[in-house]
Amino acid sequence: MPELPEVETTRRGIAPHIVGQKIIDVTVRDRRLRWPIPSAFEQDIVGGTVATTRRRAKYLLIDLDRGTLLVHLGMSGSLRITSAAEAARKHDHVDITLENGVILRYHDPRRFGSMHWLTEASHILLDQLGPEPLSDEFSGHYLFRQSRRRTGAVKLFIMDAKVVVGVGNIYANEALFMAGIRPDRPANKISKARYQKLAHVIKEVLSTAIEVGGTTLRDFVGGDGKAGYFAQSLQVYGRGGELCRCCQSKRLAEIRQANRTTVFCLKCQR
């Protein structure tokens, strides 16, 4: 699933091609996304000019002069820049054509993504979200304060979008390893000092992933059609049973938490 770095990579990739451009046509080939694309969708956005692009959690927001297009990439969705010369492929569900000849094309084999037209700031997908992990609002003090009544595992705590957005499974594994914290420890049993380190490495791991283009997921490509490369530097995720690259003395343990794979070192993380 595309996570925060993948969505931010997409945003940065498409922004130079669409900001300031007027939408002159929209083609919807399949409306059957996670939430069906309404029949008025084309009419709502055709004629609008793209003012800016933003990201909130794992949602991409394309602001027009008359409202906002909210895009969720779901499990396998991607947005890429193309042109009319490139024929649509299977699972290319939506084309947004701009006056400069660029086409913003939405591709989604599993159709778990969605597109929504917003005419006001409030939306059910955005209203209950926690702070952005790269913002000043997110800190070790904030995590410590939020965790005091949380008896569940710390990994699930930092993956809760109401606590902090965008810390997906891969990045939670990596951040907890870098912070030396066992992912199955109760969130309320971790000290403020350790949360301060965890907040710092969450910022670090997400910033690094953004800079190199996100994680190489099977279905993910950025706005330029290329995959990310952060997976080449993963320390624990996907390496269950292999030797820890830090201590070289323990094989990485692998467990399941909330139906997600968790990998950690029994020596380095406590």
From 3, 6, 8, 174, active-site residue = 3
Confidence of residue 220 (pLDDT cuts 50, 70, 90): very low
Q: Are residues 158 and 243 in the same domain?
A: yes
190 within a domain of the structure (yes/no): yes
pLDDT tens column, 42-61: 999 999 999 999 999 999 99
Token pair in block for residue 223 = 């706005």
As for how many domains the chain has, the answer is 2
239 within a domain of the structure (yes/no): yes
Average confidence (pLDDT) over 182-190: 98
Distance between CA atoms of 270 and 179, rounded to whole angstroms? Answer: 10
Residue 149 has pLDDT above 90, yes or no: yes
- List Cα–Cα distances, 185 to 45, 155, 167, in angstroms: 48, 8, 17
What CATH number did the domain enclosing 104 receive?
3.20.190.10
16 within a domain of the structure (yes/no): yes
Q: Does residue 79 contact residue 106 with C-beta atoms inside 8 Å?
A: yes
Coil/strand/helix, residue 16: helix
From 2, 5, 133, 183, active-site residue = 2
3 is catalytic: yes
56 is catalytic: no
pLDDT tens column, 79-109: 999 999 999 999 999 999 999 999 999 999 9
Distance between CA atoms of 48 and 228, rounded to whole angstroms? Answer: 31
Q: Who contacts 94 (Cβ-Cβ below 8 Å, separation ≥6)?
A: 26, 27, 28, 29, 37, 105, 106, 115
260 is catalytic: yes
Confidence of residue 148 (pLDDT cuts 50, 70, 90): very high
**Residue labelled with tokens 């992912």:** 183
The pLDDT value given to residue 213: 72
32 is catalytic: no
Confidence of residue 216 (pLDDT cuts 50, 70, 90): very low
Give the domain extent around 16: 4-118
From 58, 150, 155, 194, active-site residue = 58
Residue 223 has pLDDT above 80, yes or no: no
Average confidence (pLDDT) over 55-70: 96
